[in-house]
Amino acid sequence: MKVFKRAFTYIFLSVAAFFSIFPFFWMVVSSTNKSVDVTKGRLLPGSHLFENMKNLFETVNMGQALLNSAMIAIATTVLALIIASLAGYGFEIYRSRKKDILFNILLLSMMIPFAALMVPLYRMFGGISQTLPIIGIDTLAAALLPTITTAFLIFFFRQNTKMFAKELIEAGRIDGLSELGIFFKIFMPSMKTAYAAAAIITFMNSWNNYLWPLVVLQSPEKQTIPLLISNLGSSYSPDYGVSFLAIVIATIPTALVFFLMQRHFVAGMMGSVK
């Protein structure tokens, strides 16, 4: 009975692992094959990787899309971390009734679906285009501005601030540091785990964001990786090898970021669920 149960567990987990991994395996193998071999269902690595790479970077302009995505994701992550951690710290350290009310109001924004904001934001950036074209429609700035501040990240930093040793603030004040000085010189360096987790979440969300860039970025040279992949997948005569290579390349940064910092991710997320 016990042996039977054990065997069943391993079979069940192996089947699940197979289904989880198979699409990855297939995508990696396909990125090395000719389009026609992909449609034949070839499951062995081919010799077409460099050809696909050449097509992807020369005819589809993957390089530009990578650059756009990287710029948006890095700028979003840096700004989001500073702005949200300032707020999380502010709400927790300088706690007051009025701030608690404001905090709860900000949390309500988590319930607002992006689809409801898309049209008004599009019209808003359309209006900005008239006076301030550098942040108007079809600019990378417009693609990142609405995603910089999320209530989730503020909540996340507030929860993590609860674990910060408050005595350090008094010590900083006695040493004559300003309140901002305490934040930047004492709080930030001592909360590395929280910042790492927040960086992973923000970077992944920004790198993978699709709907808003689809709405606001129009010219081909502005497109980000998800837009490029979507276009490759829906063209009339898709080159599957090239498509899959783009998907593999798009997945590498988020997979790397995640696996390098996975302990921080779980620790940070658990800190905010408790």
Partner 1 sequence: MNHKRKSQTIGWVFVLISTVFITIFYFYPMFQALLLSFKSGMGNNLENVGFSNYKRLFGDPTFIAALKNTFIYLIFQVPIMIILALVFSVLLNDPKLRFKGFFRIAIFLPAVTSLVAYSVIFKNIFAQNGIINKFLIDISLISEPIQWLTNPILAKIVIIMAITWRWTGYNMIFYLSGLQNIDASIYEAARMDGANAFQIFTKITIPMLKPIILFTSITSTIGTLQIFDETMNITNGGPGNGTVSISQYIYNLSFKYTPDFGYAAAVSFVIVILIVLFSLIQFRVAGDRK
Q: Which of 58, 59, 63, 114 binds partner 1 (CB under 8 A)?
A: 114
Q: In the complex with partner 1, which residue's Cβ is closer, 179 or 221?
A: 179
Quick check: 254 and 207 in contact, CB under 8 A?
yes
Q: Which of 156, 195, 203, 240 binds partner 1 (CB under 8 A)?
A: 240
Q: Which of 61, 64, 129, 254 binds partner 1 (CB under 8 A)?
A: 254
Residue 14 CB, nearest distance to partner 1 (Å)?
Answer: 8
Stretch of residues binding partner 1 (CB under 8 A), selected from 52-60, 113-121, 133-141, 189-197 = 113-121
Residue 258 lies near partner 1 (rule: CB under 8 A): yes
Cα angle at 126 between 121 and 127, to 5 degrees?
A: 100
Q: Which of 7, 11, 23, 104 binds partner 1 (CB under 8 A)?
A: 23
Q: In the complex with partner 1, which residue's Cβ is closer, 64 or 149?
A: 149
Residue 118 lies near partner 1 (rule: CB under 8 A): yes
Q: Which of 7, 11, 39, 260 binds partner 1 (CB under 8 A)?
A: 39
Residue 177 lies near partner 1 (rule: CB under 8 A): no
- Region 42-81 residues binding partner 1, contact defined as CB under 8 A: none
Residue 231 CB, nearest distance to partner 1 (Å)?
Answer: 10
Residue 55 CB, nearest distance to partner 1 (Å)?
Answer: 17
Amino acid code (one letter) for 198: A
Q: Rounded to an integer, what distance in angstroms lies between the CA atom of residue 95 and that of residue 254?
A: 36
Return the structure tokens found at 218: 């129009």
Q: Rounded to an integer, what distance in angstroms lies between the CA atom of residue 59 and that of residue 55?
A: 5
Angle subtended by helix axes 262-273 and 240-260, to nearest 10: 70
Q: Hunting for tokens 């063209």 — which residue is that?
A: 235
Residue 20 CB, nearest distance to partner 1 (Å)?
Answer: 5
Q: Which of 121, 135, 177, 188 binds partner 1 (CB under 8 A)?
A: 121
What is the total count of residues that contact partner 1 (CB under 8 A)?
83
Q: In the complex with partner 1, which residue's Cβ is closer, 53 or 79?
A: 79
Q: Which own/partner contact pairs does 161-165 have at CB distance under 8 Å and 24+ positions apart?
A: 161/88, 161/89, 161/92, 161/93, 161/187, 161/191, 162/92, 163/271, 164/190, 164/191, 165/190
Cα angle at 204 between 265 and 180, to 5 degrees?
A: 70
- Region 200-219 residues binding partner 1, contact defined as CB under 8 A: 204, 207-208, 210-211, 214-215
Q: Which of 225, 242, 245, 261 binds partner 1 (CB under 8 A)?
A: 225
Nearest by Cα to 137 from 23, 40, 216: 216
Nearest by Cα to 139 from 79, 72, 61, 60: 72
Residue 255 CB, nearest distance to partner 1 (Å)?
Answer: 4
Q: With the C-alpha atoms ordered 14, 19, 24, 26, is the resulting torsion angle positive or negative? A: positive
Quick check: 254 and 204 in contact, CB under 8 A?
yes
Residue 88 CB, nearest distance to partner 1 (Å)?
Answer: 9
